[in-house]
């Protein structure tokens, strides 16, 4: 093996390893992990009497969408590096190749968008429940208890009150 070939194999290996580590360890589309990350980033309020949660559901769906697109993007990058090893455009017209790349890129984006839209309908329509938050060890940022409201004073917890 010559040094150039070793460098090429090493470079492709590093790129694919980095993409796979992101897919496996950093980008999760599991509901539990998306809910946990959402609960850390956004305000959730629990009604102390009904245990119903209030939160920005659209932001939750956006977070889910971002997780899916991130995972798909990194998969595309890893596969592109891997498949690129076998490619050679040779004497083909570079303009035709560029047009084909653009058309295939647009098609991949459209198909990805359609797939993510379907996955979101399946996985993000369910509202986050108090039980779900507790099962992953997350707590609402604020709990409101109407029975503790008197004379225009809202009791946030046992020690603090707002007027």
**pLDDT tens, residue by residue, 26-60:** 888 888 889 988 888 888 888 877 778 888 999 99
Residue 150 has pLDDT above 60, yes or no: no
Domain ranges within the chain, ordered by starting residue: 3-162
d(CA 129, CA 21): 31
Instruction: Considering only residues 153 and 40, tell me which one the structure prediction assigns the higher pLDDT.
Output: 40
72 — pLDDT class (breaks 50, 70, 90): very high
d(CA 78, CA 22): 10
What's the mean per-residue pLDDT of the chain? 84
First vs last C-alpha separation in the chain: 77
Structure tokens belonging to residue 6: 């070793």
Percentage helix, strand, coil for the chain under 3-state DSSP, each rounded to 5: 65, 10, 30
Q: In the prediction, which pLDDT does 103 show?
A: 96
**CA nearest to 138, candidates 25, 37, 27, 30:** 37
**CA nearest to 35, candidates 47, 53, 49:** 53
Q: In the prediction, which pLDDT does 139 show?
A: 80
Core vs surface per residue 87-106: b (16+ CB within 10 A) or e: eeeeeeeeeeeeeeeeeeee
Structure tokens belonging to residue 9: 């194999």
pTM of the model: 0.75
């Amino acid at each position: 093996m010559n040094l150039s070939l070793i460098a090429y194999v090493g470079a492709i290996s590093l790129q694919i390893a980095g993409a796979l580590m992101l897919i496996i360890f950093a980008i999760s589309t599991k509901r539990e992990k998306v809910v946990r990350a959402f609960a850390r980033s956004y305000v959730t309020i629990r009604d102390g009497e009904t245990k119903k949660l209030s939160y920005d559901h659209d932001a939750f769906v956006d977070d889910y969408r971002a997780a899916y697109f991130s995972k798909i993007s990194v998969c595309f990058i890893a596969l592109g590096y891997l498949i690129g090893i076998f490619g050679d455009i040779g004497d083909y017209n570079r303009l035709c190749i560029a047009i084909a790349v653009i058309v295939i890129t647009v098609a991949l984006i459209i198909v990805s968008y359609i797939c993510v839209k379907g996955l979101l309908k399946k996985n993000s329509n369910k509202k986050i429940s108090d039980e779900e938050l507790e099962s992953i060890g997350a707590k609402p940022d604020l709990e409101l208890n109407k029975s503790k409201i008197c004379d225009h004073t809202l009791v946030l917890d046992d020690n603090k009150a707002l007027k």
